[in-house]
Amino acid sequence: MCGIVGYVGTRNAQPLLMEGIRRLEYRGYDSAGIATLSSGNLDIRKTAGRIEGLDALLVRKLVEGTVGISHTRWATHGAPTTVNAHPHTDESGSIALVHNGIIENWDVLRTKLTELGHEFLTETDTEVLCHLIEEAFEGNLEHAVAAALLQVEGTYGIAVISDKDPDKIVAARMGSPLLVGVSEHGGETYLASDVAAILDQTRKVVYLDDGELAVLTREGHEIIRLSDWESHGTSRPIEKEVNHVSWDLDRIERGGYEHFMLKEIFEQPTTIEDAMRGRLLEEDGTAKLGGLHELADVLGNVERIVITACGTSWHAALVGEYMLEQYARIPVEVEYASEFRYREPVIPPNTLVIAISQSGETADTLAAMREARKRGAPVMGIVNSVGSTIARETDGGVYTHSGPEIGVASTKAFTGQLMVLAMFTLFMARRHGMSLLRGREIVAAMKRLPALVERALEQEEQVNRIAELYAEHSNFLYLGRSYSFPVALEGALKLKEISYIHAEGYPAAEMKHGPIALIDDQMPVVFVAPTDSVYTKVLSNIEEVKARGGQVIAVVSEENTDLAGKADHVIPVPSTITMLQPILASVSLQLLAYRIAVLRGCDVDKPRNLAKSVTVE
């Protein structure tokens, strides 16, 4: 959450810093700010609200300077006001700092600093960092930043500039991503919390790891470890790999669509194909997942799998549980990462832990994964963001290859996760006795899937008609059984996060244990009802809703004609094998949530209070 961009070079920094945070705005949009150093003077502008507000300030008066930092904020401590917007500064106004993360001991530090005579202007945890750096400053910014950070508990990705030690940016990371951009031609260096911010400048990046501090200058960058600095009061720069980013900028542009979310929904035939590319072995009826090479021995002995994740990724994990248990016959448990990390989990030998995350930076998932590793479990990642922290810290893993997902509501990344889980299931099932013939049938079904997703998307107009009828309702229920239960949960989450309508997902059979009391003629009930092994049971649940006056919207298999006259509306989806069916049903529910949110005038790509990657717990 929050976005950081930095530049030190020979050009005016403002355009680049602004463009960078515009690309990161989906990560947090409570406020925006910029600070530059021009002729030895610090110039700071910031405002509550979106980046357009900051643009307006800068139109009135540009900031100058060839060194600068910028920030877009998702508020944690302190209301989303201009005063609380980053950059923050110290008492003397010499230091400007932007921060992602949470300083957990800010209160103690603030009291200590107040006793030393410091006055605080904001309600943020971040401001203490500026004052700590000011206290420690003896002429060298990186030394002061290092000394300050050694007193801090919590998480941070920070960028700091000072008019007392100009011509450099000092950056440091603990639990919140940061990367250094290496110039293609020399003479300048970039900083970003996400590569998207600087991809139009360079494809060469160095990812910072926790506990590292970087000094960026026009000549390049140096990275040191804070722990070395703590032990010796100084530190020799460490060598780090320069990574090449291969994806293109057009993948993070809207390409004529009204919203990123809609673009991403319609990208799914391609992203699903991309997830499978080079990974299906038709002859052998299995999948080849290169990133699992390091886990080969572990996978040979797995007796139990724990999947941990948050939000939509947790819903993908639930679908994975159905897949792996049904096809590979391996017991699976799915855990909210935020619960798993704190409840002292028992992890018996031969347990594989799988962490699923689109961003690869979700604080709880990362912590759950670290907890599992601490307890001796091997961890596999299913991650979208290449080079993200989770991807780098797992023992092996599979990228979903969905490309950058900008809409805050996850769509293509979710179906990418389902696709990877399906391939992993096939791979494990074949090792656990699934026949070659069955394996080949599954590979064939997977290959047909992108075309079926295209067909599901052709229902957009039908979905839009339904959306028009229900956009003003205040509550929705989503019901499904078996694989369709997590699909119902995900459908409800999509609707609530972007349209602010209260929506709940339940296993359809649970309805009569409580939620049935809610049903009246004002309650739309979305049934996920493909023609599968539990279809007749779902049909009974539909009858129960109709008997109480509820409005039924049913996502059904194309060939199904039973529901005419029972459901109020149907959304047909093509049929495929059980494990892949959730992908098709999910596409319809994404379209439904999207259109309802648009009709209600909501900011679909940047829903209120949310942020794309949740790097605080």
Which two three-digit tokens encode residue 370? 């670290």
**Residue written as tokens 């259109």?**
595
Interface with ligand M6R by CB under 6 A: which range of 174-182, 295-303, 305-313, 528-536? 305-313
Query: Which one of residues 47, 155, 313, 560 is an interface residue with ligand M6R (CB under 6 A)?
Result: 313
Measured CA to CA, the distance from residue 45 to residue 85 in angstroms comes to: 9
**The one among 122, 357, 415, 581 contacting ligand M6R by CB under 6 A:** 357
Whole-angstrom Cα distance, residue 84 to residue 87?
9
Exactly one of 2, 130, 310, 602 is catalytic; name it: 2
Out of 70, 235, 312, 581, the residue judged to bind ligand M6R by CB under 6 A:
312
Residue whose C-alpha is closest to residue 343's, from 370, 309, 368, 361 = 368
- Least spacing, CB of residue 357 vs ligand M6R, in Å: 3
Q: Judged by CB, which is closer to ligand M6R: 316, or 555?
A: 316
Phi/psi of residue 52, each to 5°? -55, -35
Closest chain position to ligand M6R (CB) = 311
Nearer to ligand M6R, 404 or 439 (CB): 404
Whether 602 is a known active-site residue: answer no
What span, in angstroms and rounded, lies between the C-alpha atoms of 68 and 35? 5
Return the residues of window 391-450 that contact ligand M6R according to CB under 6 A. Answer: 408-410
Rounded-to-integer distance, Cα 24 and Cα 176, Å: 14
In the complex with ligand M6R, the residue whose CB is nearer, 267 or 497, is: 497
Nearer to ligand M6R among residue 113 and residue 310 (C-beta): 310
Options 168, 263, 496, 612, the catalytic residue: 612
Residues listed for the chain: 617
For residues 551-610, which are near ligand M6R according to CB under 6 A? Answer: 610
Q: Which is nearer to ligand M6R, 145 or 309 (CB)?
A: 309
Using a 10 angstrom Cβ sphere, with 0-12 exposed, 13-18 middle and 19 or more buried, the burial of residue 614 is buried
Residue (of 398, 336, 397, 400) closest to 371 by Cα position? 336
455 or 600, CB closer to ligand M6R? 600
Q: How far apart are CA 90 and CA 99, in angstroms?
A: 14
Q: Is 362 in the site for ligand M6R (CB under 6 A)?
A: yes
- 38 three-class SS: strand
Contacts to ligand M6R from residues 494-513, by CB under 6 A: 497
**What is the residue type of 132?**
L
The footprint of ligand M6R on this chain (CB under 6 A) covers a number of residues equal to 16
162: nearest Cα among 299, 347, 35: 35
- Contact pattern from residue 455 through residue 494 relative to ligand M6R, giving x for each residue in contact according to CB under 6 A and a dash for the rest: ----------------------------------------
Region from 82-90, 170-178, 310-318, 452-460 binding ligand M6R, contact rule CB under 6 A: 310-318
Residue 597 Cβ, how far from ligand M6R at the closest point, in Å?
Answer: 12
**Shortest distance (Å) from residue 365 CB to ligand M6R:** 5
Structure token digits, residue 105:
């001991």
DSSP states along 275-330: HHTTTEETTTTEE--GGGGGGHHHHHT--EEEEEE-HHHHHHHHHHHHHIIIII--
Spatial distance between the Cα atoms of 394 and 332, rounded to a whole number of angstroms: 19
* H helix count then E strand count, the chain: 19, 26
In the complex, least distance from residue 67 CB atom to ligand M6R, rounded to whole angstroms: 32
Determine whether 494 is an active site residue.
no
Q: Which of 122, 358, 402, 541 binds ligand M6R (CB under 6 A)?
A: 358
The minimum distance between CB 320 and ligand M6R, in angstroms, equals: 13
Q: For residue 204, count CB atoms less than 10 angstroms from its CB and return exposed for 0-12, middle for 13-18, buried for 19 or more.
A: middle
Structure tokens at 168: 């450099």
| Contacting positions for ligand M6R (CB under 6 A) | 310-313, 357-359, 362, 365, 408-410, 497, 610, 613-614
Catalytic machinery residues: 2, 612
